[in-house]
């Protein structure tokens, strides 16, 4: 497949940060709280009057993400609850009408520009708040909306919002989600994608619909699993296209801030995911769910800092590489003639590897011998991932 310069940039970037933040964060029970707890709009809407986020500092977020080695950020401009984290002209249900009263997307875009990170905007096509999101789909039955909205009017609304996001914030791309709520509905994808590319010709469009990519999409998304695996709650297609690939992953088991969720993956596990997604020729989009005050919980901030330390030492095996293979105990990436063998599991110190004779040297301080495509490790290093470079 012939890739565009934007797609090549994306494939070289390899690592991004996903941010789920909105008025749902106030309830500290994840981004599905409105649906899961059957909260009607009349009870949910007043949350916006409590959204102060007094410690919201986009510059600090972006400095942390840059320090983590991320090359881009994907932010939830609107999630399923319909609340807009930007200054939309098409609704009053937005962050500029809260005690915080600031254009979060605008400020984040500026901070990203200052630090040289690119910004993608996540946009939920599913909307539990809009009166015209009708007939209802698999979710949102408890919002207490009047029956009988006008679907065409909802399409106009959501495509209109994506247009204003494209014109006013010029993101590097869009990350759509929620179509799976009404899988057989007409979402006017062709018009949507054409509109975006007419305003931003180089924009990268991805859609988390869990199906084979549609024409007009520029990268393929996998959720909570490696490409080709079915993965999380909503099953991914196992079809892997030729498009650039991205795997999105939670650090614990929640996208939005959830103070009950202490299932934080270890740094070692997160690095293993980074190495395996790279071996699968995919990017990793690692999620944070800031707290209602706008800060990022320390369990997640410290893990990002550790990943950054690792990437400053071994980033050559990740950035600007393409995936070769993922095996049980190791992954392989390559850049031009150079290959990187990254051992993710140290169970066996004898590994059959796809190299016969090679100028192999290690980036990590392990002791090894290679003979006849068999690697004998006599002493492991203390590094979580062993890296051998083949030139
Ligand atoms: O329902 C959403 C969920 O809240 C979150 O945004 C994830 C991120 O990939 N996508 C959906 C679940 O597939």
Segment 211-253, tens digit of pLDDT: 999 999 999 999 999 998 877 667 778 899 999 999 999 999 9
What residue has token string 């401009």?
A: 77
- Rounded to the nearest angstrom, the distance between the alpha carbon of 255 and the centre of ligand 1 is 7
CA 32/CA 253 separation, integer angstroms: 13
- Rounded to the nearest angstrom, the distance between the alpha carbon of 231 and the centre of ligand 1 is 12
Q: What atom in ligand 1 is closest to the CA of residue 256?
A: 4
**For ligand 1, atom 3, which residue shows the shortest CA distance?**
255
pLDDT at residue 45 tops 70? yes
Q: What pLDDT score was predicted for residue 248? A: 97
Q: What pLDDT score was predicted for residue 356? A: 62
- Rounded to the nearest angstrom, the distance between the alpha carbon of 390 and the centre of ligand 1 is 39
Determine what percent of the chain is predicted with pLDDT higher than 90. 90
**pLDDT tens digit sequence for 265-320:** 999 999 999 999 999 999 999 999 999 999 999 999 999 999 999 999 999 999 99
> Average pLDDT for residues 7-27, to the nearest whole number?
98
Ligand 1 contact, 177 CB (< 6 A) = yes
**For ligand 1, atom 9, which residue shows the shortest CA distance?**
223
DSSP string of 74-89? EEEEE-TT--BSS--S
Q: What pLDDT score was predicted for residue 353? A: 81
CA 112/CA 116 separation, integer angstroms: 6
Round the CA-based radius of gyration of the chain to a whole number and report it: 22
Determine what percent of the chain is predicted with pLDDT higher than 70. 98
Q: What atom in ligand 1 is closest to the CA of residue 221?
A: 9
Whether omega for the bond prior to residue 135 falls within 30 degrees of 0, making it cis, is yes
**For ligand 1, atom 4, which residue shows the shortest CA distance?**
31
Which pTM was predicted? 0.97
CA distances from 10 to 211, 284, 391 (A): 21, 11, 25
**pLDDT tens digit sequence for 156-201:** 999 999 999 999 999 999 999 999 999 999 999 999 999 999 999 9
- Rounded to the nearest angstrom, the distance between the alpha carbon of 223 and the centre of ligand 1 is 8
**pLDDT tens digit sequence for 362-391:** 999 999 988 888 899 999 999 999 999 998
Q: What atom in ligand 1 is closest to the CA of residue 122?
A: 6
**For ligand 1, atom 1, which residue shows the shortest CA distance?**
178
Q: What pLDDT score was predicted for residue 357? A: 59
pLDDT at residue 47 tops 90? yes
- Least confident window among 119-133, 253-267, 373-387: 373-387
Confidence of residue 358 (pLDDT cuts 50, 70, 90): low
Ligand 1 contact, 234 CB (< 6 A) = yes
Ligand 1 contact, 208 CB (< 6 A) = yes
């Amino acid at each position: 497949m012939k890739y565009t310069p934007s797609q090549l940039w994306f494939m070289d970037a390899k690592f991004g940060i996903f941010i789920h933040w909105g008025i749902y964060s106030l309830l500290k029970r994840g981004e599905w709280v409105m649906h899961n707890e059957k909260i009607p709009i009349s009870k949910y809407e007043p949350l916006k009057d409590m959204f102060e986020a007094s410690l919201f500092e986009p510059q600090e977020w972006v400095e942390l993400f840059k320090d983590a080695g991320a090359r881009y950020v994907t932010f939830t401009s609107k999630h399923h609850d319909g609340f807009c984290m930007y200054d939309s002209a098409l609704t009053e249900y937005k962050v500029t009408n809260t005690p915080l009263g600031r254009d979060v997307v605008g400020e984040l875009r500026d901070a990203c520009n200052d630090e040289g990170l690119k910004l993608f905007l996540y946009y939920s096509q599913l909307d539990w708040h809009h009166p015209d999101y009708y007939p209802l789909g698999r979710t949102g039955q408890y919002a207490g909306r009047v029956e009988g909205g006008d679907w065409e009017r909802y399409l106009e609304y959501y495509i209109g919002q994506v247009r204003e996001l494209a014109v006013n914030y010029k993101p590097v791309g869009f990350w759509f989600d929620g179509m799976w709520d009404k899988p057989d509905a007409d979402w006017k994808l062709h018009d949507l994608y054409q509109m975006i590319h007419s305003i931003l010709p180089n924009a990268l469009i991805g859609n988390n619909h869990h199906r084979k990519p549609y024409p007009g999409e520029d990268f393929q998304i996998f959720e909570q699993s490696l490409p080709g695996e079915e993965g999380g709650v909503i099953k991914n297609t196992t079809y892997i296209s030729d498009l650039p690939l991205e795997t999105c992953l939670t650090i614990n088991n929640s996208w939005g801030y959830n103070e009950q969720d202490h299932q934080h993956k270890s740094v070692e596990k997160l690095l293993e995911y980074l190495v395996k997604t790279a071996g699968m020729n995919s990017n990793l989009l690692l999620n944070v769910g800031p707290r209602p005050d706008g800060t990022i919980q320390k369990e997640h901030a410290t893990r990002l800092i550790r990943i950054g330390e690792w990437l400053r030492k071994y980033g050559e095996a990740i950035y600007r590489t393409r995936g070769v293979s993922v095996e049980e105990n190791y992954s392989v990436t390559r850049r031009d003639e150079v290959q990187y063998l990254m051992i993710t599991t140290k169970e066996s110190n004898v590994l059959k590897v796809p190299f016969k004779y090679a100028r192999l040297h290690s980036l990590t301080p392990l002791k090894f011998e290679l003979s006849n495509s068999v690697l004998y490790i006599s002493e492991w290093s203390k590094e979580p991932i062993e890296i051998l470079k083949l030139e």
